[in-house]
Amino acid sequence: MSAVDQAFTPDGPLAKTIPAFSARPQQIEMARLIEQALHEHRVLVAEAGTGTGKTFAYLVPALLSGGKVIISTGTKTLQDQLFNRDLPVVRAALKVPVSIALLKGRANYVCPYHLARNAKDGRFQSPQDAADLRAIARFAQTTQSGDKAECSAVREDSPAWMAATSTRDNCLGQDCPDVKGCFVLAARRTAMDADVVVVNHHLFFADVMLRDEGAGELLPACNAVIFDEAHQLPETASLFFGENVSTGQVLDLARDIRSETLAAAPDCRDLIDASRTLEKAARDLRLAFGVEPARLPAAQAEALPEFGARAQGLAAEIERLEAVLETQAERSEGLAACLRRSQETGERLRRWRQPEDAELIRWVEVFSQSAALNATPLHISTVFRRQLEGHLRAWIFTSATLAVGQDFGHYCGELGLTALEPPPLTAVWGSPFDYGEQALLYAPAGMPDPNAPGYIEAVAKKALPLIRAARGRAFVLCTSLRAMRRVHELIADGLAAAGDDLPLLLQGEGSRTELLERFRRLGNAVLVASQSFWEGVDVPGDALSLVVIDKLPFAPPDDPVLAARVEYLQKSGRNPFMHYQLPRTVINMKQGAGRLIRSEQDRGVLCICDPRMIDKPYGKVVWRSLPPMRRTREEADAVAFLEQLPPPAVRQGNG
């Protein structure tokens, strides 16, 4: 019996050390296949349903492999959980002398240089920001890691963190006067020496880009890379293999130039003036797009009356600023870094306006306060495959949602894995949960077409009796912010009319973490949210017994990146709907449905309002990909299922 098999036996080290541990057949099979892939330096793509125990299934063979392993996750939450809880537990059970390290992006670590600069500058948006920065300064004096997750006195989304951390753009590197106290470099040194390093997908791809540019290696060379939450990789890779320049980046540059000028060249009034003019040019460019947030193809943006002149105006101001910076750059490392940033920003703007690569999708994303000019690769498969072929190591891709049915064709095609020799190992393990007993899938009869004018009202009407039967304990997940706000309004009216005093939460009323904490604590809340709550959200137990989904999550057809990829597939003679849009929707749908049943004790109803799942031929692909719950089209069945659940454990207060 191998050491991996032994670890999972009823009298093995995991069972002896971890309370209530019980290995599952799917978990053991997955661990064996990962052990094989690690030993043979193979690529493995594995879908493991909720409850399989995939974390232990990859940690055990990874820790027993004797090699250096990078584990990359999609979220910082899972990253912290792996490092602080799961890895130490498995390591202790197996009694292996393996060193572990946690490495995050630089924005997660206090930067002593920028903290001191901005504290001295003393310009804050509010008294709270000033108080937060003082608290961060106190934290910086006592922390060993500098990781902002450990600074409980300051909210994670406080604006003060921007003044206390560095970015890739404004980091001074080895030229920094505070380099000896740099928390980022300390974390990287620890990671270089560790046997197992826990990172996230953004950091992994940032390192890939640095290696491609010959600018050094952020992550250590290793024998294996394990991607958990691997369904997020195509999106993250597109972000990093592309390029963008935003008005927000320009405003940050202008602010940093003023800060560095006041410290090192206070007599250079021209530099202060140039930074102010640059700020105005950036804000003017944002105003060219109107008030509402939007995503526009480049051609549509360029057709706007004021866009061309304002983009040219921004380019001219960047050039003017460069000229002044060149006369002052020798006066400090900070000013020299600002010169490099202004040159890079001007070059990115030039490339966006005069594209050299026909395979880049140029588009604009407009936010409430800023606008970003993006260039996204048409496909990432070639670039990603080059990373895999360049290193003899194992690559493990795992998630609860990678396949369409049993087929990994879409996922492997997006990442270029289909062209590998030997081809990837693949496997699907269903969830060990008894979905037939634990859950009911309800597809309401009589729903209008999703594009019909009254569709959102129909969703709220179908959701209300279920919410009342469940006595709260519900997620209502919408595919757009507009639908989310309207559904929230209608449910609030419906509950008030029925005299039901249930806590009703709305995405945006606080951070995602705060909302989830309130939802769990209240015990009978209703949370109305958009797609940011479709994945990475774990509410086991009685607090969540109902998930309502308004529509199948197809990307909007006018999305510029989707439209360009659809056009490319059409020209290639392929059906973009079947090859690209539908598989992506199925994977997203499985993520949303996966919020409901998180443990063997959970019970609940999944309500999918979209009639296309029943009426359209392609709906059967979605239907068959969902967990094997009992299914109904009758509201009475869903209400009866929810009414028989034990009453919620309600906490007093408003959370």
Instruction: Look up residue 170 and give its two tokens.
Output: 């404004």
Longest dimension (CA), the chain: 77
Half-sphere exposure of 528 (CA within 13 A, CB side): 24
Q: What is the pLDDT of residue 208?
A: 73
Q: Where are the alpha helices (DSSP H) in 52-111?
A: 54-64, 76-81, 87-94
End-to-end CA distance of the chain: 51
Residue 269 and residue 226 share a domain: no
Interior angle at CA 614, CA 428 and CA 458, nearest 5: 120
Q: What is the pLDDT of residue 214?
A: 41
Distance CA 209, CA 229 (A): 21
Say what the pTM is.
0.88
Residue 491 and residue 595 share a domain: yes
Residue 150 placed within a domain: no
Q: What is the pLDDT of residue 654?
A: 44
Residue 323 placed within a domain: yes
Residue 244's alpha-carbon distances to 256, 320, 364, in angstroms, are 19, 21, 9
Residue 458 and residue 341 share a domain: no
The pair phi, psi for residue 606, each rounded to 5°, is -105, 120
**Which residues in the chain come in under a pLDDT of 70?**
122-123, 209-220, 651-655
Instruction: Look up residue 464 and give its two tokens.
Output: 């209300």
What CATH number does the domain containing 267 carry?
1.10.275
Residue 66's alpha-carbon distances to 33, 69, 403, in angstroms, are 17, 9, 31
Looking at the chain, the number of H-run helices and the number of E-run strands are: 29, 18
Residue 615 placed within a domain: yes
Residue 198 placed within a domain: yes
Domain termination site, one of 409, 429, 449: 429
Distance CA 466, CA 459 (A): 11
DSSP assignment of 300-341, as one string? HHHTSTTHHHHHHHHHHHHHHHHHHHHHHGGG-HHHHHHHHH
Q: How remote is the C-alpha of 88 from its chain's centroid?
A: 25
Instruction: Look up residue 278 and give its two tokens.
Output: 């640059």
Residue 649 placed within a domain: no
What CATH number does the domain containing 39 carry?
3.40.50.300
Residue 203's alpha-carbon distances to 397, 471, 602, in angstroms, are 16, 42, 34
Residue 553 and residue 519 share a domain: yes
Q: What is the pLDDT of residue 135?
A: 93
Distance CA 391, CA 110 (A): 33
Contacts of 238 (CB under 8 A, 6+ apart): 376, 377, 380, 561
Whether residue 531 contacts residue 553, with contact meaning beta carbons closer than 8 Å, is answered with yes
Residue 392 placed within a domain: yes
Domain carrying residue 17: 3-105+186-239+379-429
Q: What is the pLDDT of residue 39?
A: 95
SS3 566: helix
Residue 270 and residue 293 share a domain: yes
SS3 161: helix
3-state helix, strand, coil in the chain (%, to 5): 50, 15, 35
Number of separate domains in the chain: 3
Residue 78 and residue 38 share a domain: yes
Whether residue 549 contacts residue 608, with contact meaning beta carbons closer than 8 Å, is answered with yes
Residue 92 and residue 65 share a domain: yes
Residue 9 and residue 39 share a domain: yes
Residue 135 placed within a domain: no
Residue 451 and residue 575 share a domain: yes
Torsion of CA 321, 324, 327, 328, to 10 degrees: -70
Residue 409 placed within a domain: yes
Q: What is the pLDDT of residue 94?
A: 95
Q: Packing angle between helix 201-212 and helix 233-241, nearest 10 degrees?
A: 40
Residue 464 and residue 553 share a domain: yes
Residue 476 and residue 402 share a domain: no
- Cβ atoms within 10 Å of 277's Cβ, excluding its own: 16
Residue 564 and residue 457 share a domain: yes
Domain termination site, one of 388, 406, 429: 429
